[in-house]
Amino acid sequence: MSISNNNKVNQESINNGVMLNAYPNSIGKNLHDTISLLERPEFKDVFSLFYVLPTFFNSDLDRGFSIIDYNLNKNLVSQDDLNELKKLNIMLKFDIVLNHLSVASPQFKDLLEKGNTSKHKDFFINWNEFWDNYGTMGNDGVMIPDDNHLSKLFMRKAGLPVLKVPFPDGTKQPYWNTFYQEIKYNLVKPENLKSIKDLSIIDAENICEIVNNAIALNKDFELLDFKKNKDKKGEIIQIIQKNKTYLGQMDVNANSPLVWAFYEETLKKLSAFGCKILRLDAFAYLHKAIGQTNFFNKPGTWEYLDKIKQIAQKYDLLLLPEIHAEYGLGLHDEVAKEGYYIYDFFFPGLIIHTLESESNKALLTWAYEIIEKGYKTINMLGCHDGIPVLDLKGKEVDGIYKKGLLSDEEIENIMNKIMERGGRVKNLYDPAGNKISYYQINATFFSALGENEQKLLLARAIQMFMPGIPQVWYLDIFAGKNDYQAADKGGSAGHKEINRTTLTQQNIEKGLSKKVVLHQLEIMRLRNTLRAFSGKLTINNTSVNKIDWVWKNGEDFAQLQANLKTKMFSMSYKESSITQILNFNAK
């Protein structure tokens, strides 16, 4: 497939291209190992785009989405890698995490060092200052918003979204922290206690034993009994707190001109790296205002999107706002109507439903909507995150209920099926820590399909014929299975590690000997190279348990015919007066 090398994005090439999705070290040890894979003959012409996840940059939490800075992570990526990708005519897609930066970012470190005198004081959001006059101070020094405001907040985790950080004046200030945080109490050593007067070496060792045991058992330090040293309890706890380390994704203050200057600098830098598509991660949380949900506030979110779009146009970047929301809410339609690409988070659940129920109805409903409304989408089966289920739901808006793409019962059936096959669930919570909704299920797509190779092949074929840019998770190509050991070891976000197994060279060689892998590569190569896919899609009428889709571009065509009961399918195509019919069987 030929891709223009000039500075302007070749829109037809992007629409027709297949996109790889991986971390820089998903295959081997670094990005160079992934490039070596792409240079193999089995992968020739399979991909023309590559979504490299943000450990490409310097980060420290949430597997890359807690950005320290947008410079190359030299442990995983080199400038030579970028040059090689350019030679392969592979365009890049990156993330900018609009809503937050790491506590280890230069901006937040400056705030921690200088406190209220830092030029970045308003770069982040002091929770207490934001809610001043709209809440009550809690016993822990954190403002609790009034009930009428608190009840509206859209939460991603249990409890108030704050992380208390130490200021130079000795106070601990709560800063807005919508997503992840990780607080670690480090073991105390006798030398850490040197500042305490009249403390013998034996007493210091005894105190360390008490404290370290409490850390291991996650006990409350205030309840510890230091016996004859109980008068020194306050000093000991102060040392424990000072000795801890923490990570966090700290929400930025989009009212600050410094934040927008940072966005401008970042988009310029990413364009220089070769970025053509820019995913706006967590953009819907960026705008914050008293009395709103602080998730896709209107009109504020639209105003921010427009400002980002104006910057992106300077650097010829296509924007992809990332948003998870119920279908019934209609946000996907609103974003698409503004001309943006949208992530097709409905597609993975619809495919599982289609294959398990042996019915095309729900999938066709969504496919017709994409065609009729002219949505520009990027779809996927598996990805670095979970399989969305919340997105498929209906939603009541202004007293009117709009149906989802699937009923609640159908969604429950999907969830139960994937859970039976080893999946892990991610939920949403209210401010009190109560579960209010399921969000997504974490599993490899192959395991979600019961590790049935024919189902995986058919799912891939349908994806390649679906309107939109097909994005392919590296592990799915090799029919990756749930990694329970990684999920169990992964801590608070361990559920995601179930689908992030690093592939070794041995895994690659073994995989490339399997039909399910080679057939997927062949199907993707056709999608990536045939001119028919730059044309129009026609969905032929069939019975409910069959699929007959045809892409046409002049005299060229590509056709998928599938039986949802048997999972058998064929692809036929015509290009340059040559017609081929291919049958795909995993056995």
* CA–CA dist 509, 125 (Å, integer): 49
pLDDT band at 429 (very low <50, low <70, confident <90, very high): low
* CA–CA dist 42, 47 (Å, integer): 11
What pLDDT does 442 receive?
94
∠ CA 95-97-101, rounded to 5°: 135
pLDDT tens digit sequence for 272-317: 999 999 999 999 999 999 999 999 999 999 999 999 999 999 999 9
pLDDT band at 493 (very low <50, low <70, confident <90, very high): low
Residues present in the chain in total: 587
pLDDT tens digit sequence for 229-240: 999 999 999 999
Pairing of strands 424-429, 546-553: unpaired
pLDDT tens digit sequence for 328-337: 999 999 999 9
pTM: 0.91
Residue % of the chain over a pLDDT of 70: 95
Say which DSSP state 167 is in.
-
- Rounded to the nearest integer, the mean pLDDT of the chain is 93
Element of type H or E holding 79: helix 79-87
281 tagged catalytic: yes
Average pLDDT of the segment spanning 351-372 = 98
* CA–CA dist 185, 191 (Å, integer): 16
Res. 507: pLDDT tops 70: yes
Residue 521 tokens read as 């590569």
* CA–CA dist 261, 258 (Å, integer): 5
* CA–CA dist 587, 584 (Å, integer): 9
* CA–CA dist 407, 430 (Å, integer): 23
pLDDT tens digit sequence for 519-553: 999 999 999 999 999 999 999 999 999 999 999 99
Average pLDDT of the segment spanning 434-454 = 86
Q: In 374-481, at which residue ranges do the beta strands (DSSP E only) sit? A: 377-380, 387-388, 395-397, 400-402, 424-429, 435-442, 469-473
What pLDDT does 492 receive?
62
What pLDDT does 14 receive?
73
For every residue of 240-293, DSSP letters joined together read: HHHT-EEEEEEEB-TTSHHHHHHHHHHHHHHHHHTEEEEEEETGGGS---TTS-
| Residue of 69, 203, 281, 391 marked active site | 281
| Residue of 33, 95, 203, 322 marked active site | 322
Res. 587: pLDDT tops 90: no
Residue 268 tokens read as 């310029």
Q: Could you give the 3-state DSSP secondary structure of residue 160?
A: coil
